[in-house]
Structure 1
């Protein structure tokens, strides 16, 4: 910093004020200091600066998402980064992969770096290990899944309602034997989507005890195999509700391998890339991960700015997008 100050012809305190974005520094001085820093390839030590900064902040957030290769998680990630950038804040991100050990390891790594706030997707039965951090005043916002064991802000989709919307759509098109392909039961969103599915069948007077249900699916291959087995069973379904986007991709592969994509109806919870380009196009109950990420980031920054209101659960609605696959009627009524 002394070298930058000497090259710019200003004092070290002035360089510090420019680096930390403090007010009442002329544009000409900012330009000289910035140019000198570039010339010397100077990068400020953010952790050292944090020790002297009045608010004690590191201008960083920790973000834990399901998996960065999942389109839903990727969109949440991007929305958080866009919001953080407006505040001059960097984002450290990690993937959960629905691994409880990985969850706590990632959160511990964020906290060791003294992040100012956390935005988390979690899978552990309880997040009470974060209670000390909440008492210290660290903002923690949960996305996609709500916390257990503690009270904290959350931003989630209306999973049960979205599943009911998908199920009702298939029932409206004449289906009574609708199969459910679900994620792992330990995951909160999977349980909520199953609940919405079964409740909608019950409201329509469809007996649920014999409904074809395959759960514990979490990737394309397991979903593909499950779909093939269902359609090869003595009483195959006429329609499928796939409750997770990666499961949906495996289901699509199976239907196409079997040549059944034009006679088995399919509705997916969550969209998948290029879904509108398939033939028929994929009917989905779409979440809004961009809105979820944006609202979560806004909540963190509101807390950092002094918002002490009670923890809030924000529900982001889903919407049905009809593209063709969910509008296929059962053969016997075709």
Structure 2
């Protein structure tokens, strides 16, 4: 501000008045100040100003687990679209599925006085997310539910999506179905496996452990696991994969083996319709998860008089749908 004042030949107080659109400044002085602002590229430090005035910072933290996954980019787009309507900006952090890094990111965001935080938890220990331990900062979880902490969350209907995709394979005549899943310790891993098992049970089909592989989120590992299944003496005639990376790995294994193995997987993905292989995917709106999480957080931040800050924790489920690619 002092540089602007010096360039315009006025006092810092006059610059402040111009920036606040005060009428107590002459037209000539106002024109000189605005010209100096443009020449110097001056931007007011809104965070520092908010802290001085005891106001909100206008910032919300968004902590995700894998910045490279398109799911999280869509979730972030949904969050930002809601926050922007209220002039609020998101500060993005990537935990890389590392709980300790997530803890550090949360500490940093709280130290910077963000007005709220949306988190995709990296692990089951969520004690650091308790609102009271975050100095009253409201928190909403995305894609994974709270574990022992009373927090709002927005989830995908993982169970139903996996069950319906497996039922589709069974209805198409398959009885030996392989499962390429995520680690059981994760919410999505356990729920999608539970949906897979429920479909088998409803059809009177036994769960055969020989056809189950837990391969995490690595496409190469999924390809190797699928190749193992296809080399069995009695290989599965169909595979269900628990996320889009596993689906791509399974597709590569099927192509390499030259089999006509059917494939279904959780998460739609770009170019899924161009694989040249019959494919069923479980689709959902990832941006909607972000929008709903953003709305939940805003209700905690902006409506304390209506019980926003003290209302019981809420849970919203985003539905899934099956898409068949020929």
TM-score bracket, shorter-length normalisation: 0.7 to 0.9
1:185–1:216 contact (8 Å) kept in structure 2: no
How far apart, in 2, do the equivalents of 1:30 and 1:301 lie?
Answer: 37
RMSD after superposition: 2.7
Q: Say which SS state the counterpart of residue 61 (structure 2) adopts.
A: strand
Residue of structure 2 in register with 1:51 after alignment = 51
Q: Say which SS state the counterpart of residue 186 (structure 1) adopts.
A: coil
User: Is the counterpart of residue 17 in structure 1 residue 3 in structure 2?
Assistant: no
Map 1:248-327 → 2, pairs under 5 A: 248-260=247-259, 263-280=260-277, 282-306=279-303, 307-308=308-309, 309-324=311-326
Residue of structure 2 in register with 1:153 after alignment = 152
How far apart, in 2, do the equivalents of 1:284 and 1:160 lie?
Answer: 14
Cα shift at 1:135: 6.6
- Structure 1 residues 13 and 180, CA, compared in 2 at 3 Å: closer, same or farther? same
1:153–1:312 contact (8 Å) kept in structure 2: yes
How far apart, in 1, do the equivalents of 2:190 and 2:37 lie?
Answer: 53
How far apart, in 2, do the equivalents of 1:177 and 1:14 lie?
Answer: 75
Residue of structure 1 in register with 2:74 after alignment = 75
TM-score normalised according to structure 2 size: 0.88
- Structure 1 residues 15 and 252, CA, compared in 2 at 3 Å: closer, same or farther? farther
Q: Say which SS state the counterpart of residue 123 (structure 1) adopts.
A: coil
Deviates more, 1:72-81 or 1:30-39: 30-39
Map 1:172-251 → 2, pairs under 5 A: 172-210=171-209, 212-251=211-250
Q: How many aligned positions are there?
A: 316
- Structure 1 residues 281 and 273, CA, compared in 2 at 3 Å: closer, same or farther? farther
Q: Say which SS state the counterpart of residue 315 (structure 1) adopts.
A: strand
- Structure 1 residues 24 and 277, CA, compared in 2 at 3 Å: closer, same or farther? farther
TM-score normalised according to structure 1 size: 0.86
| CA deviation string 1:75-129 (max 9, x = no partner) | 1112222222232222221223222222212222222222111111112222112
| CA deviation string 1:209-268 (max 9, x = no partner) | 4561101422101000000000001121000010111111111111122222xx111111
Map 1:30-179 → 2, pairs under 5 A: 36-55=36-55, 57-133=56-132, 136-179=135-178
Q: Say which SS state the counterpart of residue 322 (structure 2) adopts.
A: strand
Q: Say which SS state the counterpart of residue 302 (structure 1) adopts.
A: helix
Unaligned segments of structure 1, at least 5 residues: 325-334
1:271–1:286 contact (8 Å) kept in structure 2: yes
Deviates more, 1:267-276 or 1:211-220: 211-220
Unaligned segments of structure 2, at least 5 residues: none
1:5–1:12 contact (8 Å) kept in structure 2: yes
